[in-house]
Amino acid sequence: MPNRLLALLAVCCILTVPPVAAQDPLSAIDWLEQQTAAPTVPPRRPREEPPVADSAGVPSVTVTSLDAPRADAVGLLPSSVTGFPTTLWQASRSGTLAALIAAQRVDDQPAMQALLYSLLLAEADPPADAGPEAEVLGARIDKLIELGAVDPAEALVERAGPTSPALFARWFRLSLLSGDIGPACEAMREAARLAPGYAERIYCLARGGDWDTAATTLETAALLGAIGPQLADLLARYLDPDLAESTPSLPPSAQPSELEFRLREAIGEALPASALPRAYAATALDGNAGWKAQLEAAERLTRSGAISENRMLGIYGLRLPAASGGVWDRVEAVQRFETALNARDPQALARSLPPAWTRMREAGLDVAFARLFGEALLDIPLSGEPAGIALTMQLLSPVYEAAANGAAADDPRTAFLVSLARGEPDAGLAPDARARAIAAGFAGADPPDDIATRLDQGRLGEAILRAIALYGAGVEGDLPDLTDALATFRAVGLEDTARRAALQALLRDPAP
């Protein structure tokens, strides 16, 4: 860890060992998936660099009611996994953090998605002004929902203990999305004050078998205007299957709630998850949806980092595609490539790699594809276009540094990429303005003044969130912001993030 960071973050206990090379840290979400599959003690990772996050499996959790201000401290990833100090949020104000978290826009930015997941899932002490409303925890959960990471969001609520109306409302929504509404309904029956509204109470009464009370409550709530007419109509059809069968279908709301989604599903008027916000895609992965719906949902969630690329690949391999076009062409291309790769057949790989890469790149799944197969291509002899694609995949994968060490830099652009992967980009080889901005970020530039101030005050989480936003602006064309973002990541020890983000900025969206 650079000495400058220790001076900036004197109140934080990070590490005193300097990062001598970029690490290949375990993905935050991959780590969670491993805990689900095998609940063993995770290996210790280098603490200089928080891990990347590419999926949304969660470990088993126990619901425990915490003191209200401590709810903001809840996380799924301990400091030993993230590398973040427990003081990550402590010196910041809750409202400032909540606003910064809500403002994050990391679509099509895999490195930033990975870093953001690590922040959202980290265990850390709450801000000094944390109150019973658990504002920061709520913002973290809401951002996870927006990204489609339903399972970890639900686990965060359960770990905090959904004992406040605000947290319970989020738990109820997430339980509807995950399909495991039973515990939330049971908790509501035991503590009616937690009910988000009459509609949710009626739904749970019916699910618990108390149909008469549910019907009476619906009639009363509708007369009082406590439930809107369309939702009341849906509940009536849910309570009376004969009514649902004998009346015309209702038009969907412009923004259907999770409860409306499940009610319509129950009465045979299911809404397509593909037309709804990203979190609804999780409902297509329960095995009940058709293969095409599962494929589209898996791709959508992989693009946002909410599930791992391995989970997507598993759905790709369920069967052989029986149609063509769109997702079917991607599935066929990836299956052909994977068959050639498993056979270690260079000629078959040379034929199958270009179409698979093209289709996955067009779908915004190039980094996922690279993470799946980049390392496996390291020792396979290829030439021409397939060799260039293989190097690009490797530089977009966790083995970027190993790929750089073995790459033949035959042209200035490749030579620059290789030097960047090694952490020492040669500005003299930079092929364009974006590459020069990236090189400047690795040339000892200091973080911008507003971030330096946050670091001086121990507001590390704020500083990182601000740098994520700067990176987004940088790849959109504001090159000084790109320099500032990379300089900040390196200043706080996020060397791997800086390199991956820089490589993605050049390889995924090359400057004209």
pLDDT tens-digit profile, the chain (512 residues): 343 333 333 323 333 333 333 334 456 666 666 665 533 323 333 334 444 444 444 444 444 444 444 899 999 999 999 999 999 999 999 999 999 999 999 999 999 999 999 999 999 999 999 998 899 999 999 999 999 999 999 999 999 998 899 999 999 999 999 999 999 999 998 888 899 999 999 999 999 999 999 999 999 999 999 999 999 999 999 999 888 888 888 888 889 999 999 999 999 999 999 999 999 999 999 878 899 999 999 999 999 999 999 999 999 999 999 899 999 999 999 999 999 999 999 999 999 999 999 999 999 999 999 999 999 999 999 999 999 999 999 999 999 999 999 898 889 999 999 999 999 999 999 999 999 999 999 998 999 999 999 999 999 999 999 999 999 999 999 999 999 999 999 999 999 999 999 999 999 965 44
What local confidence, expressed as pLDDT, does residue 132 receive? Answer: 87
Does 273 reside within a domain?
A: no
Q: Which residue has the tokens 């064309």?
A: 477
Structural domain count, the chain: 1
Does 359 reside within a domain?
A: yes
Does 227 reside within a domain?
A: no
Dig out the tokens for 404 from the structure.
């750089």
What local confidence, expressed as pLDDT, does residue 501 receive? Answer: 98
Q: How far apart are CA 59 and CA 407, in angstroms?
A: 39
Q: How far apart are CA 74 and CA 405, in angstroms?
A: 41
Dig out the tokens for 5 from the structure.
């960071």
What local confidence, expressed as pLDDT, does residue 52 receive? Answer: 43
For residue 424, count CB atoms less than 10 angstroms from its CB and return exposed for 0-12, middle for 13-18, buried for 19 or more. exposed
Does 432 reside within a domain?
A: yes
DSSP 228-269: -HHHHHHHHHHH-HHHHHHSPPPPPPSS--HHHHHHHHHTT-
Write the Ramachandran bin of 322: left for phi over 0, alpha for psi from -120 to 50, otherwise beta. alpha
Dig out the tokens for 159 from the structure.
């770990």
What local confidence, expressed as pLDDT, does residue 286 receive? Answer: 83
Amino acid (1-letter code) at residue 396 = L
Does 304 reside within a domain?
A: no
Does 376 reside within a domain?
A: yes
Query: Domain span at residue 428?
Result: 327-507
Q: Which residue has the tokens 């299911």?
A: 270
Q: What is the pTM of this model?
A: 0.87
The DSSP H or E segment spanning 155 is helix 150-160
Does 336 reside within a domain?
A: yes
Q: How far apart are CA 125 and CA 10, in angstroms?
A: 16
Q: Are 59 and 76 in contact (CB under 8 A)?
A: yes
What local confidence, expressed as pLDDT, does residue 24 receive? Answer: 43
What local confidence, expressed as pLDDT, does residue 510 receive? Answer: 56
Does 408 reside within a domain?
A: yes
What local confidence, expressed as pLDDT, does residue 33 receive? Answer: 66
Q: How far apart are CA 479 and CA 464, in angstroms?
A: 18
Dig out the tokens for 443 from the structure.
């040339």
